[in-house]
């Protein structure tokens, strides 16, 4: 099964069963943000892959292979645009946006090293999710 399902993404962006659409949109958003985040420092660490697998399984129930995550990360690393993330983010709740930014933080910290590229990516994602600095820092209540 492809990591990003274009039919479900299209349905999420065009409307449909709201609960199912939001779950699918959250899945797409989570995988997109985390896979690309694992490659933000130009190196995808095994600990980052394991963290993504754990987070995706916890929040979607889906088991991903490391190769799928690496392929998605490499494919998405060439795209600097946050437009796709912003479009998906507009379709999910504030609580899900906080879940995504907190998951990204966990992935970035998974290899015990935070680069300037990762910080820049985190800030860009927070802006695309339309989260305040307090939200992104985990200071605001969910």
58-70 pLDDT, tens digit per residue, is: 999 999 999 999 9
Please answer whether residues 110 and 50 qualify as being in contact, where contact means their C-beta atoms are separated by less than 8 angstroms. Answer: yes
Residue 93 falls within a domain, yes or no?
A: yes
Residue 115 falls within a domain, yes or no?
A: yes
Q: What is the pTM of this model?
A: 0.83
Q: What share of the chain is helix, strand, coil (3-state, %, to 5)?
A: 70, 0, 30
**Nearest residue to 85 (alpha-carbon basis) of 57, 70, 104:** 104
Residue 51 falls within a domain, yes or no?
A: yes
Residue 17 falls within a domain, yes or no?
A: yes
Distance of CA 10 to the CA centre of its chain: 18
- In angstroms, the Cα distances linking 109 to 1, 4, 29, 76 are 28, 24, 19, 20
Which pLDDT value is given to residue 66?
93
Domain of 54, in residue numbers: 6-136
Q: Check pLDDT > 60 for residue 2.
A: no
Q: Check pLDDT > 60 for residue 9.
A: no
* DSSP assigned state of 86: H
Residue 141 falls within a domain, yes or no?
A: no
Residue 142 falls within a domain, yes or no?
A: no
CATH number of the domain enclosing 61: 1.10.3680
Number of domains, the chain? 1
Which pLDDT value is given to residue 14?
58
Distance from C-alpha of 67 to C-alpha of 43, rounded to nearest angstrom: 14
Tens digits of residue pLDDT in 90-110:
999 999 999 999 999 999 999
Residue 1 falls within a domain, yes or no?
A: no
Tens digits of residue pLDDT in 28-59:
999 999 999 999 988 889 999 999 999 999 99
Distance from C-alpha of 90 to C-alpha of 128, rounded to nearest angstrom: 9
């Amino acid at each position: 099964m492809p990591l990003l399902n274009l039919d479900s993404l299209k349905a999420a962006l065009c409307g449909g069963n709201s609960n199912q659409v939001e779950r699918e949109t959250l899945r797409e958003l989570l995988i997109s943000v985390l896979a690309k985040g694992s490659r933000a420092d130009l190196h995808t660490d095994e600990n980052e892959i394991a963290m993504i697998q754990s987070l995706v399984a916890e929040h979607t129930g889906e088991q991903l292979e490391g190769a799928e995550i690496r392929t998605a990360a490499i494919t998405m690393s060439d795209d600097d645009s946050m437009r796709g993330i912003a479009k998906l983010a507009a379709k999910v709740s504030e609580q899900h946006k906080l879940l995504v930014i907190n998951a990204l933080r966990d992935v970035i910290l998974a290899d015990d090293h935070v680069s300037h590229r990762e910080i820049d990516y985190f800030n860009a994602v927070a802006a695309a999710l339309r989260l305040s600095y307090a939200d992104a820092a985990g200071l605001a209540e969910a």
